[in-house]
Amino acid sequence: MAQMWAGRFQKDLDNKVNDFNSSIKVDGRMFESDIKGSIAHATMLGKQKIISLEDSKLIVKTLLEILDDIKAGKLALDPNAEDIHMFIEQELTNRIGEVGKRLHTSRSRNDQVALDIRLYLRDEVSATIELINNIIATIIDLANENKETIMPGYTHLQRAQPITFANHILAYGFMLKRDIERLKDANKRMNYSPLGSCALAGTTYPIDRDYVANELGFSGIVNNSLDGVSDRDFTIELASCSSICMMHLSRLCEEIIMWCSWEFKFVELDDAYSTGSSIMPQKKNPDICELIRGKTGRVYGDLITLLTMLKGLPLAYNKDMQEDKEAIFDSLDTLKQCLSILNPMLKTMKINKDNMRKAAAMGFINATDLADYLVKKGMAFRSAYKISGQIVAYCIDHNLILEDVPLDVYKEYSDLFSQDVYQYIDLNNATFKRTSKGASAINSVDEQIKILRG
């Protein structure tokens, strides 16, 4: 099949070259953005009298028909077309002949592709934000249901201090909130129209770039024609936002994998969201979490693909840039897929409150509180810290927990100890007296939920 640009060529393209060169299998999904961009361009051409108003109207009407036909499944994308831009333009020309050939006046595929990808990704960003918001809502529900669920907080994966599950899970809510802010911020920089950059050097036609930008809901135009067609920073920014968000999901998944193990048994996944083993009948595996953790690597790979693809390119457009779409689409598709599956899994996950509490009751996670008790009675923190450490060593030797050490033993270490020490180091008390902002006390958790909702 002869290409639309076949003017100076004497031979058809070799089939293998056509397959290699064609991007429609990847960029076909941008058909709606492409048509919207062409409608805005054609309208501007008519308004500026670059083509007649009549031709402009016919082009717009036909483009809308093409859009309807693709959506209704009446018009299939030709897998042999070079890309979505060529396909739509060819279809337009098939339908209205010479008039269709006027659409490409003062336009290049270079600015067309730069436009389409921005329009397409703008919608993708909104869809991704919605999915992240759904998970934040689930996290808020989990926090509300677990304000009194005491669990051990860890550092170095060693039991450290008592916290509530509400406080723990809310940490992920705030990470995801930052992910949304990052996406919105990247979107702000992406939301400028490159259309009118043309191939690279602008045009001699009296085009109105601002009009087109406004029609398409952009904040303005890309100010430099070479930058307009060569900038793919926004794909890198979005792939980076996507990588960071995947990293957050992966950390959460890693914790859930641990919490599902017999060693922890803090949570149990719903049968619908776990898998069995082909040989070991007792197994219930957290495959979803493992896949999300695994796919994180692939999303990082997409980011590296984009950074590497761009780093050596001279201005302006180079065909290397066609590779951008496969990487950024994969990055956001994977993220969206992970977000969609994680949400119902979290919603149906059973929290084993008793097991969390049991684990919190061991491991001396109230040792800091024991030291704080002495500090409240007037001792310097370092000295109190040392004495508490010695009492912990005593407990380990005698197979006791701090709550069970007799008062006379406490008094051997310091005469500041009295009966009220037991109340002070009590697990509930130790957890809920942490009333500082951001901590586990119920008021602090309520405040966090309010901020996260806000």
What are the residues binding ligand ARG (CB under 6 A)?
23, 27, 83, 109-110, 113, 317, 319, 321-322
Helix, strand, coil shares of the chain, percent, nearest 5, are 65, 5, 30
Distance CA(382)–CA(366), nearest Å, equals 16
Token pair for residue 64? 């809308």
Least distance CB 332 / ligand ARG (angstroms):
17
Distance CA(100)–CA(63), nearest Å, equals 10
Token pair for residue 359? 């684990």
Q: Name which of 113 and 238 has its Cβ closer to ligand ARG.
A: 113
Q: Name which of 33 and 296 has its Cβ closer to ligand ARG.
A: 33
Contacts with 396 (C-beta within 8 Å, 6 or more apart), sequence order: none
Distance CA(294)–CA(299), nearest Å, equals 9
Distance from the Cα of residue 380 to its chain's centroid: 46
Least distance CB 138 / ligand ARG (angstroms):
37
Residues making up the chain, counted from first to last: 454
Which residue in the list 277, 340, 383, 418 is annotated as catalytic? 277
Q: Name which of 224 and 318 has its Cβ closer to ligand ARG.
A: 318
CB 253, CB 341: distance < 8 Å:
no
Residue 162: φ, ψ to 5°: -75, 140
Catalytic site includes residue 277: yes
Fill in the amino acid letter for 284. Answer: K
Contacts with 449 (C-beta within 8 Å, 6 or more apart), sequence order: 140, 143, 144, 170
Q: Name which of 138 and 230 has its Cβ closer to ligand ARG.
A: 230
User: How many helices (H) does the chain have, and how many strands (E)?
Assistant: 19, 6
State the DSSP code for 150.
E
Least distance CB 89 / ligand ARG (angstroms):
12
Q: Name which of 147 and 325 has its Cβ closer to ligand ARG.
A: 325
Q: Name which of 70 and 113 has its Cβ closer to ligand ARG.
A: 113
Q: Name which of 203 and 388 has its Cβ closer to ligand ARG.
A: 203
Distance CA(94)–CA(88), nearest Å, equals 10
Q: At what angle do helices 165-190 and 233-260 cross, to 10 degrees?
A: 170
Least distance CB 21 / ligand ARG (angstroms):
9
Nearest to 113 by CA among 304, 315, 311, 317: 317
Q: Name which of 113 and 439 has its Cβ closer to ligand ARG.
A: 113
Distance from the Cα of residue 125 to its chain's centroid: 9
Query: What are the distances in angstroms from CA 84 to CA 14, 28, 308, 427?
Result: 20, 5, 25, 63
CA–CA–CA angle 12, 16, 19 (5° rounding): 95
Catalytic site includes residue 156: yes
Query: What are the residue numbers of the active site?
Result: 156, 277
